[in-house]
Structures are given as structure tokens and as C-alpha cells.
Structure 1
């Protein structure tokens, strides 16, 4: 029998499961990884789960999304409009304090859109470099996502070009 997993290992596994669900386009699995109001003791009889604001998400270039319903709709939209996505995570750091965990990482994303008109293959693959912060909360069912915040990283030439632009 193997030794019990440490909190850090469990959080790493939850973080990996989040990205793997995205890659597979598995909305059900992705949904199960996000906190629900009942995970935080919110009585859904008296509060609309979509309005409790228990989770939040910022996709690169998007405004902040608050509430489980709004966050999950955004993932459904992304999955419906992305034929291929793969994440190569680097610089992954996990910190756990009590029932809260913070994961920072760099998402090296490779994605492809719909096939060109009449084609069967993916459209051109596009690479994107994004830094992300994922916050997890411990629940009786394990670690669940509380917040995801992702921001694009400017390429070095983008910075150089902006430095040359007159003010």
C-alpha cells in the first residue's frame, strides 16, 4: 500500500485534472472540478447557486467572470469553439495553507480552430504563452477550483516594439 498523498500532491493532481479536462473537451469533468455552493456550506434552498459568487475566472483578454454559472458557460463556449487545445505547463509552484491552495504556472498553449472551408484537418495551430494562478479549496470530495486567473505574456519583440513607440 502506498503512503497517503500529501496536500501538495493532491493539489497538483487536481490542477492537472483541470487542464486534462480542457484538453479532452470534457465539460462534465471540468464542471466537477469547480467549487459548488454546497462545498462552501451555502444553502442552495435560499440562495441561487449562480448568484452566490463562490468562484471566479479571468481568461486572457476577458473581464472577470463571477459565479459558477457564468464561469462554466465560458468554458462551454471555449470548448465549443476550439477543435484542439494542449497545455504544456512549466514553472508550476504549489503552496498550501490550511484548506486553501495556490498554484502558479506558465501555460504554454497550442490550439487549433475549425477546419478550413471543406477541409477535414484543423485550421492552423497557434501557440500562446500565458501565466496562470489557480486557487483551490479543500472539500470533502477533494481539492476543487475556486478561482482561475490567466494573463497573456508579452513576447520580447512586443515589448521592444512598445518601447520604440513615441509617447
Structure 2
């Protein structure tokens, strides 16, 4: 266990995965790239991947961590309220699905105050691998949730012609 890491000896594997998932979002909220870096699988052949909403697939640890550095550098404030969290553990792999209720804001155009806050819903899948150092992120995929109008339009497109 890392120095300063919480003792998780009494936790189930599911609870350990939940803790790793929460730690991921807390690192984003703090803009802590060092902590974020420690959460991802390491190694050239780790197969790490990430899809941020609206972005192409990012492959490789370096590319993924650069994306988080970019996001953190351009986001003055971000907070995640996770709902619909589901955790599944099978051997050395764990899957977490959730809805990210995101509140974020950038710097104001003038002055030193926070710019306008924006809300967004994203559904996410986080895949973790068990390592000797604990559960590490292998893949993150976030997709935006369509607005009600978008959902209605999508449903209308699914109706077969009569």
C-alpha cells in the first residue's frame, strides 16, 4: 500500500473498485494530474484507452494523460455527481458504469472570477484491472446524454415507415 493511501484491507473487491472509481473523479475535480497519472495502468503494452465525449479514441497512457492535462488546464472548476453507479467484478477485471452529472466552468473573460457554470450529463464506462498496487484504470469511455429533443428525434428515427 502506498504511503498515505487509505487502509482498504477490510473492503470487498467491489468496494475497492468503487473507491478507485471515486478517486478517479476526485482527482479530476482537484485538477491533480499527478494523482490522475497514478490511477492508470502503466506499461507500454497496457492497452490503455480513453474516449472523452465528442473526441476520437485516445490510445496509450501518454496520449490519455496528455488529454487530462489539457482538460485540467482549461477547466477552472469541475464537479461530478455520480448516479446510476453499477459495479461488476470478474477475476482481475472490473467494470463500472455510471451517469456523470457534471457541473463545470471556465475562467471569466475579464476579471478573476469564474465564468458561467454549465451542466452536462455523460454516461461513462470505466474498466479497471487488478494490479499488485490495487485497481488501475484500463479504459474510460464517456458519451453525452442527448437532450429530451434529441431523444425524441432519435426515437422518431427508429420508427419503421408504415
- Structure richer in strand, relative to its length: 2
- In structure 2, C-alpha distance between the alignment counterparts of 1:53 and 1:6, rounded to whole Å: 25
Report runs of 4+ in structure 1 exceeding 2 Å deviation. Answer: 157-164
2:135 pairs with 138, 143, 163, which one?
143
Give, in whole Å, the separation in 1 of the partners of 2:77 and 2:83.
20
TM-score of the superposed pair, with normalisation by structure 1: 0.85
Shift of 1:7: 0.3
Instruction: Mark the runs of 5 or more structure 2 residues left unpaired by the alignment.
Output: 1-7, 158-162
Match of 1:21 in 2: 27
How far off is 1:3 after superposition? 6.7
Matched pairs, number: 150
Q: Deviations over 1:108-130 (max 9, x none)?
A: 0000011222x121110000000
- Determine if contact 1:36/1:54 at 8 Å carries over to the other structure: no
Contact 2:79 2:104 in 1 (8 A): yes
For structure 1, the 5+ residue unaligned runs are 38-48
The 1:78–1:3 alpha-carbon spacing in structure 2 relative to 1, beyond 3 Å, is closer
Mapped to 2, the partners of 1:161 and 1:55 lie a distance apart of: 34
2:136 is paired with a residue of what secondary structure?
A: strand
TM-score computed with the length of structure 2 as normaliser: 0.87
